[in-house]
Structure 1
Amino acid sequence: MLSPGSASSGLAGRGRWSRSCAVEELRARRREREAALRRARRLQQLVSKRLLREDALIEDICVGTDSGTAAPVSEQEVSELLRNAHKGTEERLKSLRRLRWGLQCKETQQTFIRLEGSMRILIGLFTSNLADLQMEAARCLHELSHSEDPEVVEACLPATSYLLTYLSGHSTALTELCLYTLGNLAVETKIVKKQLLPQGIIPALASCMQSPHLAVQEGAGYALSQLLQSKEAAEEIILLVLGSGLFQHILHLVCSSLEQGMGVAIEFAWCLHYIICSRVNNSLLISQKTLPTLGQLLVALASTVTTASAEGLELLVCPVVRCISNLLAEDEPCQGELQAQAEGLLGAVFVFIRSFLPTHLFIVQECLWLLNNLTADDPTWCSALLSLELFPSLLQLFQCQKASVLVLTVLCNIAAKGPALCQALYQKAGLPSLLGALALSDDQAVNQGLELAHLLFLHWPEAAINFVQQSGLRALERHQDNPLLQEKVEALIRIASQLAALPQDCPFEVSPEDP
C-alpha cells in the first residue's frame, strides 16, 4: 500500500496563473494536499494476526490429513478432551495436541468457548509446572487468539495476565509464543484498553526488547507494532512509549545487527512508522537525530543490494523510507538534517529504484515520494538531484505508468524553485520529456505535465518558445476536449502562443485575467 507523507508541489484545481501569485498558490495547494494525505495515511494503517505453527503435530493425529484443512471436532469429542485434562501426563498431552489441532477450525473454536469451564481448564494447564503441558496449552491459546471472531478473542481475556507473566520466563519458545499471542489479541480495542495496558504490557515488552534472543526481540516488535496500530495508540500508547524512553532503543534495534536480525529490524521499523504517522511528537523525534540515523541506514542497506540478493530487503526498506518521508512532511522543513548525506542518500534511493522496479513497484513509488518530500521545500536537494549522474534514471521512469505522476511531481518541485533551477531542469530533461508527459494516457499524469509546462514557461520563457517551435501546441490540442484538463490546456496554449510571438528580450507577464 502506497503511503505518501507529502504531496505534489504542482498546481491543482482551478486558479489564476500569473507570475505574481503562482508560486504562493503552488505552496498553499501543496500544503493542503500534504494534510489530506497525512490524514489518509493514519486511516489506512493495517492490522494483521500471525500464526506460529512451526512444530509438527503428533503423527497419529495427523495421519491422512493436512494441517491447513483441519476438520471440525464435535462437542462430544471436545468434552472428552477436556475430561482427559484430569488424567495422567501422557493422556493430557495427547488430548491437548488433539485439541490444538481441532482449534484450527473456527467451528471447533466456537464449540470450545461455549463449553462451561473450558477456558478455566485450558488456563489451568497453561499455568502447569510441566513444560510440555504448558507449551501445548499455550499453543491452544495461540490458535484461539488468531480467530477473527470477537467472541473467541473475548474468551481469551482471562489468560492475558498469565501471558504477560510468562514473558519473563526462562523458555525462549514459550516467551516467543506468548508475545505473538499477545500481539494477536492487541488488535482488539477492548482488550487493549481493559486488560493489556493496565496489566503493564509496555514495560513487559520493553524488557523483552532487552533479550539476547532474536526470536524474543522480533516477537516483542510484532506485539508492539500491533499495539501501536490500535485506536488508542495516539492517545495513550504512543505517549507511554515516548515517555518511557523506548524510542531510542527502538531506533537502535532497527539500525543494528542487520545481518543477524533482519526480522527484528523489520518489526521495529514498522513500530517507528506507526509512531511517526501518529504525529504525537515528531518534533521530538527529529530533535533526536532520527532523520540522519535512518538516512545512514538506507545508505548501508543500498550497499548490500550490490553484493547480495535484494529479495526480502523491501520489507525493511519500505517502512524506513516511509519514516523519513513522513518526518520530512512536517510543517517545519527539516531537509537540512540530511544534507550531509545528500549524495549517498540520493544514490541509495536510485539503487532501490533500479533493484525493485521489476518486482516490487511499490518500493519505487515509496522512493519517489521520498524524492518528492526532499525536493518539496529545499532547493539544495533539487540542485543535488540535477547535479548527479542519476537524473537520467529518474526520467526513464516515465516508461512506467504507475510511476510517471510521481516523477512529474519531483520535476514540478524543481521547476517551482525559480529561473536558475528551471533552466537547469530544462537543459537536463529537455523538451522531449515534457512532450512525452503530454502524450501519456493517464489524465493525472497529463495534468501534472501541464503543471510542469506552466512552471517552465513561468520561470524560463525560452522553454515556451522551443515548445511552440517543436509542435508542442498540437500536443496540447489533443487534450482540449477533456473536461478535466480543458481549462489548463487552453490557458497554456494562450501563454505559449503569446511567449512565442514576443521578442526574446521582452519580459512577459501573464495577465491577472488568465485562468
Structure 2
Amino acid sequence: MQTLVGLLTSSQALLQLEAARCLHELSHSEQSAVAEACLPATSYLLTYLSSHSSDFIELCLYTLGNLIVESEAVRRQLLPQGIVPALAACIHSPHLTVLEALGYALSQLLQAKEAPDMIIPTSFAGSSVLGSPLPQHMLRLLQPGPKLTLGVAVEFAWCLHYIICSQVNNTLLITHGALSTLGLLLLDVAGAVQRTEDAGLELVACPVLRCLSNLLTEAAAEAVEEQMQLGDERVMAALFILLQFFLQKQPSLLPEGLWLLNNLTANSPGFCTSLLSLDLIEPLLQLLPVSNVVSALVLTVLCNVAEKGPAYCQHLWPGPLLPSLLGMLALSDTEVVGQSLELLQLLFLYRPEAARAFLQESGLQALGRHEAAAQLQDRVHALQQTALHG
C-alpha cells in the first residue's frame, strides 16, 4: 500500500493511472479489511477528483464508491475530508462517463446505514448532500432530452430513491421540482419502450417509479396538482405502457408500477377519471392472474376508484369485474380475498344491482369458503348481510 500510494502521488501520469487501477482492483474485494488497508490512499483519490483527466477522475470515483460501500472506517475518514463537496464539484463535468461514475459513488454513499443521520441532512451544511447543490443538479440531469443517457439516468434515479427513502427532507426535493422532473422522465421512458426493444429501460423505470410512489405518499395534494400538470391521461397512459412492458419482459417489476398507480388514485379523482376515460379497467383486470401480490395491488387500485362514489362505480359495473372477483374469492390468500370483499362492499353500496347479480352467480357459496378464516369472518358476514338485505 505504501508503494502504491507513492506511485499514486508521483509526477508521472502513467504511473499514477496504473496505481489507481491497482487500487480499483483492490476495492472490488468484499472484505472490509482490504478496504481499510486502502485508507492511506483515499485522501489522494479525493484530491484527484479535480484532475484534468476524465479517465483518471472516473477511475477514482469508482474506486471510492467501492471502498465506501465496504467500510464504515473509510466513510468516517472521507466525510470530514470533504467527500460531499468533492462529489458536488464533479457534477459539472461535461463527460458522461464521469457523471455515471459520480452517480455510482454517490449512490454507495447514500446507502450507508449512517446516511439519514450524518450524510443526507441539511443540518450538516456543506458536508451534507441536501445542503449541497447535488439534488438540484441531479434533477437537472434527469430531465428528458437529447443529452440524457441511460447510464447517467439509472445512477442518479437510484441516488434520488435513497435520499427519498431516508425521509430526511422530501419537501425540499418537491420544492426543487422533483415530481415534475420524475413525471416527465416517466413519460420519456414509456415513449422509449414503444420505440425500441433495447434492454435496460427497466433499470431506470424501477427507481423512477419508486421515487414517485414514495414522494406521493408525503406530498401535499396541492404540490401534486401543481407539479404533475402533465395531463392526468398522459401519466396514466405512460404508466400502463410500462405495465404492459413489465408483463412481457420483467413481471417482477409489476408491483412497482401498481404501487405508483395506487398512490396516484388514492387521493385523486382526476387520476381515477383518467383510468376510466382511457378504458383501462380491463387491462388492469388482465394482470390479476400474475401473482397474489399483483392481485392485491390491482384490487386496491379498483377500491380507490370505487371509493370515489356512484358515478365511478357506474363505470365498474356492469362489466368483466364480477367474474374476476368471483375468481379471486376462489383463492386462499387472505390479503387478496380481503381486498375483494372490500371492493364488493363498495360496489354493493353504490350499485345495488351488483349485489343481485352476485347472488345469482352463486356469490354466497363463494363467500362461504372464507367464513372460518379468523381475519375475514367479520367482513364476510357484513358482505353477506349487504348482499341479502342491502
1:341 to 2:223 alignment: no
Q: For residues 76-119 of structure 1, give each alpha carbon's deviation from its aligned partner in whole angstroms, at most 9, with x where no partner exists.
A: xxxxxxxxxxxxxxxxxxxxxxxxxxxxxxxxxxxxxxxxxxx2
Counterpart for residue 470 of structure 1: 361
1:482 to 369, 373, 390: 373
Whether the 8 Å CA contact 2:62–2:101 is kept in 1: the answer is: yes
> C-alpha displacement at 1:297, in angstroms?
1.4
CA distance in 2, matches of 1:189, 1:155: 13
Q: TM-score with structure 2 length normalisation?
A: 0.92
Per the alignment, in what secondary structure is the counterpart of residue 317 of structure 2? helix
Alignment partner of 1:365 is 2:255: yes
Paired residues for 1:314-463 under 5 Å = 314-330=202-218, 332-333=220-221, 334-336=223-225, 337-401=227-291, 402-463=293-354
Q: What is the aligned partner in structure 2 of residue 245 from structure 1?
A: 133
Structure with more helix by fraction = 2
The question of whether the paired residues in 1 share the 8 Å contact of 2:110 and 2:119 is answered with yes
* Cα distance in 2, alignment partners of residues 338 and 184 from structure 1: 36
C-alpha displacement at 1:164, in angstroms?
Answer: 0.7
CA drift of 1:418 comes to 2.4
**Whole-angstrom CA distance in 1 between matches of 2:195 and 2:219:** 38
> If the length of structure 1 is used for normalisation, what is the TM-score?
0.70
How far apart, in 2, do the equivalents of 1:428 and 1:300 lie?
33
CA–CA distance in structure 1, aligned partners of residues 229 and 340 of structure 2:
28
**Residue from 215, 223, 231 that aligns with 2:97:** 215
Alignment of 1:33-112 (within 5 A): none
CA positional deviation for 1:215: 0.8
Q: CA deviation at 1:176?
A: 1.0
Q: CA deviation at 1:495?
A: 2.4
Note the C-alpha offset of 1:256.
4.4
- C-alpha contact 1:185 1:191 (8 A) present in aligned 2: yes
> Is 2:135 the partner of 1:274?
no
Partner of 1:105: none
Partner Cα separation in structure 2 for residue 340 and residue 266 of structure 1: 22
Residues 88 and 133 in structure 2, CA contact (< 8 A), matched pair in contact too: no
Output the CA distance in 2 between the equivalents of 1:160 and 1:306: 44
Whole-angstrom CA distance in 1 between matches of 2:237 and 2:198: 16
Change in Cα spacing, 1:269 to 1:230, as seen in structure 2 (3 Å) is same
Taking the aligned partners of 1:231 and 1:214, their CA distance within structure 2 comes to 29
User: Displaced runs of 4+ in structure 1, greater than 6 A?
Assistant: none
Q: Residue 257 and residue 186 in structure 1: after superposition, are their counterparts in 2 closer, same or farther (change >3 A)?
A: farther
Amino acid across the alignment from 1:397: L
Aligned to 1:293: 181
Distance 1:259 1:364, change over 3 A: farther
Q: Distance in 1 between matches of 2:130 and 2:259?
A: 27
Corresponding position of 1:37 = none
In structure 2, which of residues 50, 60, 78 is the aligned counterpart of residue 178 of structure 1? Answer: 60
Report the aligned-residue RMSD: 1.9
In 2, Cα distance between equivalents of 1:330 and 1:313: 27
The change in CA–CA distance for 1:206 and 1:433 in structure 2 (over 3 A counts) is same
Cα distance in structure 1, aligned partners of 2:44 and 2:230: 49
Q: Which of 81, 88, 106 pairs up with 1:199?
A: 81
Tell me which structure has the larger Cα radius of gyration. Answer: 1
* Structure 1 portions without partners, runs of 5+: 1-118, 500-515
Quick one: structure 1 residues 182 and 122, their matched pair in 2 at CA, closer, same or farther if it must change by over 3 Å? same
1:175-227 deviations in whole A, cap 9, x for unaligned? 1111011111222323212x111111112111211111111111111111111
Q: Is the 8 A contact 2:243 2:254 kept in 1?
A: yes
Residue 154 in structure 1 maps to residue 45 in structure 2? no
Query: Counterparts of 2:193 and 2:98 in 1: how far apart (Å)?
Result: 27
Give the one of 15, 18, 27 matched to 1:136: 18
Aligned residues of 2:91 and 2:134 also touching (Cα < 8 A)? no
Moved more, 421-430 or 293-302: 421-430
Q: Secondary structure at the match of 2:186?
A: helix
C-alpha distance after superposition, 1:249-293 (max 9, x if no partner): 101112245666210111011111111111211122222222122
Q: Which moved more, 1:224-233 or 1:320-329?
A: 224-233
Bigger relative CO (Cα 8 Å, ≥ 6 apart): 1
Match for 1:381: what amino acid?
A: F
How far apart are the structure 1 equivalents of 2:83 and 2:190? 35
SS in 1 for 2:304: helix
Deviation at 1:406, TM superposition (A): 0.9
Q: Distance in 1 between matches of 2:249 and 2:188?
A: 21
Q: CA deviation at 1:331?
A: 6.2
Distance 2:9 2:175 in 1: 45
Percent identity of equivalent pairs: 57
Residue 461 of structure 1 and its aligned partner are, at CA, apart by 2.6
- Take 2:313 and 2:279, find their aligned partners in 1: how far apart are those partners? 18
User: Does the residue aligned with 1:217 lie in a helix, a strand or coil?
Assistant: helix
What is the distance in 2 between the residues matched to 1:341 and 1:284? 24
> Which of residues 381, 386, 390 is equivalent to 1:495?
386
CA contact (8 A) 2:232 2:270 kept: no
